[in-house]
Structure 1
Amino acid sequence: MTPRPTRDTPAGRAYNDLRNLARRQGRDVAEYLTMYTLEGFLARLALSTQAGDFVLKGGVLMAAFADRRPTRDIDLLASGFANEIAECEGRVRDIANIPFDDGLTFDRSSVKGEFIRDEADYTGVRVHISATLASAQLGIHVDISFGDPIWPGPTETDLPRLLGGTVQLLGYPDHMVLAEKLVTAIQRGTANTRWRDFVDVYAIAEGRPIAQRDLRKSLATVALHRGASLRPLAQALAGMAEAAQPQWAAWRRRQRLDGTTPEKFQDLLDAVIRFADPALGDEPTSRAWNPQRREWL
C-alpha cells in the first residue's frame, strides 16, 4: 500500500488539504484532485504569454458564476493560431512547463492531441496531458475550439480555486454562457439529454442579475452562427418533462445534486423557461433578471 503523502512538501500539503476538503464536503477525493489539476493548468496559462489567445468556457468557468461542478476537462476558445493538432499540442506543452508552486508536476511527454468530431456544431482539438500530485496520478484533457463568436467580447474573470485564491484570465460573459446552452436546448428539442446545460442555466439564474437585452443579443449571435432559429423553450420542449424524468432522476442521483436541484425535471424546466422565454420573445425589453425574486423587473 502506498503511504499517505506527508505535509513536508507543497505537493503533500495540497494533497492532504484536498483530501480533507473533499471529506468535509462529502465529495469524492479523486474529483477534487482532478479539479485542482485543471485549476493548476489554468494558473499556468494565466502566467503565460499565451493568456490572450484563449478564453475560458465550459464547466470550469461555472465556478465563477455559481457552484463549481465536477469535470475532467478545460474548454477554451482559441484565436490567433491554426486549428491543428501539432500547434495545440505545442501550446499545451509550453503552458504546462511554466513553474508554479502548487505541487503539481505536468508530464509534457504525455501530451497527445486528437480532432474533436463529436458534434456538427463543435470542432477543435482535444489535448490529453498527465500530471502528478504527490502519489496521485492524474489525467485531464484540454478542449480547444475555434471560431465561435463572443458578444460583445471576453471578460476578465476571477476563477476561485479549491484551496483559496483565484485565477485571473479571460472568460465568456455570463450571458454568452447562457445563450450557447439555450440555443443548444432549442436545437436538440425534446431528445435533449444534456442535463448539465439545464442545471447550469438554473444555477446562473439563481445567483446572477442578467440584462434582458444582453441575453437576447447573445442568443441572436449564437443562433446566427449556428444557423438556428430562436423560439420559446416552452414550445421547443413541449412534452419533454414527463418522458425525461427517469433519466433526469438517475443522472441527478449520480451527480449528487439532491440538495441543489429540483427533484422533478418539470420543476427545473419550468424555472429555466420562466427565465429564458422572455428573452426569446420578439421584443426584448430593458428589464433585468432579479435572482432573489426570480423574475424580470
Structure 2
Amino acid sequence: MTRKNVTNLGASIRQRLQNHAQLSNRPFDEILRFFAMERFLYRLSKSAHADRFTLKGALMLRIWDTPLQRPTMDIDLLGRMDNDIQTVESLIREICTVEVEPDGIIFDPTTIVGRVIREDTDYEGVRIRFQSRIDNARVTLQLDIAFDPFVATKSFLCDYPTILDLPAPRMKAYSREATIAEKFQAMVYLGSINSRMKDFYDIWLLSRHFDFDGNILADAIKATFEHRRTPIEATPLAFTPAFSVEPTITHQWRAFITKNHLNDAPVDFAQVTIALADFLSPVSESIIESRHFNSIWKAPGPWR
C-alpha cells in the first residue's frame, strides 16, 4: 500500500470514528482511544507473545457487552514474563510492529517508555506508555501490566468487540468471578483510604446485569483473599452507612460518574454500597462459616 493510500485510509477511519462518536453520543477522544486500544490488542493477538498476556480491567466490560460501560485510560493486562522494564518494553515494541491488515492506525515503537508501578499485590507491575496516530489525530496509549501469578479462576478465550468492521482480537481474558474477587479484596484491604470508585461501580454493574453461581463466586473470593493474605469480613467498612455518607467519598463518587458520563448510575453512593452488601455479604458469611454457598444470583438479585 502506498503512502498516499495509507494516509487516505487513516483519514477515512478517523471520519468513520467521528461519525460513530456522534451516533453513540460519546466524546470523540474516547472513541479514538477505544479504537487505538482495540487495534493494539489485535496486534498483540497476532503476535508471538499472545499467550503471555491476559486481558483484565475495564475493557472486559466491552467484552461482556454491559450497558453503562465506563471509559478507561488504559489497558490492564496480566503478564507471564519477567517483570523488568527492559523485557516488557522490548515485547511491546515487537507487538507495535506486527504486520496486520491495514487499519489506519500507526503505533510508534520509538515512543515506548516504561516504569514500575505497585498497587495491591506483592508483585511490582510495569506501566508502558507510547504514541499512536490515526490520520492527524494522536492517541497516547497506556498499558498497566500486572505479574501476580495467581488468578482465582481460569481465563477464557474471547473475541474483543470492534468499533468498525475490522478483524477482532482474540485473546485470553479474566472471568467475571475473578474480576469481582480482586475488586472486593481491594475494597476490604484499603478500608477507609479507598478512593477506587471504579471498583464499586464495576461490581455494582456486574451484579445488576449478570447471573452468578454462588459456589463459583465464593471459591474465587476465598482463594483471592487467602492468596493476598486479607481476612474476609462479612460487612467490611466499605459497606457501612458511615462510609457511604462520608463527604469525601460521596464527592469522589459523584465526580467519578460525572467525569465518565455515567448518567444512569446512582447519584446516591449509599444505593451502591447497599446493593454491594446484598450481593457480597451473604457470600462472605458462607466463607467465614466454612459452608457451601449453593445459592444462585439472578440479576439484579437477590440470592435464591
TM normalised by structure 2 equals 0.89
Residue 277 of structure 1 is matched in structure 2 by 281
1:153-211 deviation digits (Å, cap 9, x = unpaired): 21112221222564221001110000000111111223322111111111111221111
1:203-250 deviation digits (Å, cap 9, x = unpaired): 111221111111111111211221101112455532111112233222
Supply the distance in 1 between the matched residues of 2:147 and 2:295 (Cα, whole angstroms). Answer: 33
DSSP-derived class of the 2:138 partner: strand
Query: Out of 237, 261, 266, which is 1:256 matched to?
Result: 261
Supply the distance in 1 between the matched residues of 2:6 and 2:118 (Cα, whole angstroms). Answer: 43
DSSP-derived class of the 1:151 partner: coil
Residue 269 of structure 2 is matched in structure 1 by 265
1:172-183 matches, within 5 Å, as: 172-183=174-185
Residue 242 of structure 1 is matched in structure 2 by 245
Residue 142 of structure 2 is matched in structure 1 by 141
Deviation at 1:33, TM superposition (A): 0.6
1:1-297 matches, within 5 Å, as: 9-65=8-64, 66-67=66-67, 68-79=69-80, 81-100=81-100, 101-118=102-119, 121=122, 123-164=124-165, 166-233=168-235, 237-238=239-240, 239-243=242-246, 244-259=249-264, 261-282=265-286, 283-291=291-299, 293-297=300-304
Residue 3 of structure 1 is matched in structure 2 by none
Identical amino acids, percent of aligned pairs: 26
Q: Is the 8 Å Cα contact of residues 218 and 293 (structure 2) preserved in structure 1? A: no
Q: Which amino acid is the alignment partner of residue 296 of structure 2?
A: A
Supply the distance in 2 between the matched residues of 1:63 and 1:122 (Cα, whole angstroms). Answer: 27
Give 5+ residue unaligned stretches, structure 1. 1-5
Q: Which amino acid is the alignment partner of residue 89 of structure 1?
A: E
Q: Is the 8 Å Cα contact of residues 278 and 284 (structure 1) preserved in structure 2? A: no
> In structure 2, do the counterparts of structure 1 residues 152 and 253 end up closer, same or farther at CA, with 3 Å as the change threshold?
closer
Supply the distance in 1 between the matched residues of 2:257 and 2:121 (Cα, whole angstroms). Answer: 27
1:81-102 deviation digits (Å, cap 9, x = unpaired): 2111111001001111112321
| RMSD of equivalent CA atoms | 2.0
Supply the distance in 2 between the matched residues of 1:294 and 1:167 (Cα, whole angstroms). Answer: 33
> In structure 2, do the counterparts of structure 1 residues 233 and 51 end up closer, same or farther at CA, with 3 Å as the change threshold?
farther
Q: Which amino acid is the alignment partner of residue 23 of structure 1?
A: Q
> In structure 2, do the counterparts of structure 1 residues 120 and 156 end up closer, same or farther at CA, with 3 Å as the change threshold?
closer
Give 5+ residue unaligned stretches, structure 2. none
Supply the distance in 1 between the matched residues of 2:226 and 2:83 (Cα, whole angstroms). Answer: 22
Q: Which amino acid is the alignment partner of residue 12 of structure 2?
A: R
Deviation at 1:25, TM superposition (A): 2.2
Deviation at 1:27, TM superposition (A): 1.6
Supply the distance in 2 between the matched residues of 1:58 and 1:224 (Cα, whole angstroms). Answer: 21
Q: Which moved more, 1:239-248 or 1:159-168?
A: 159-168
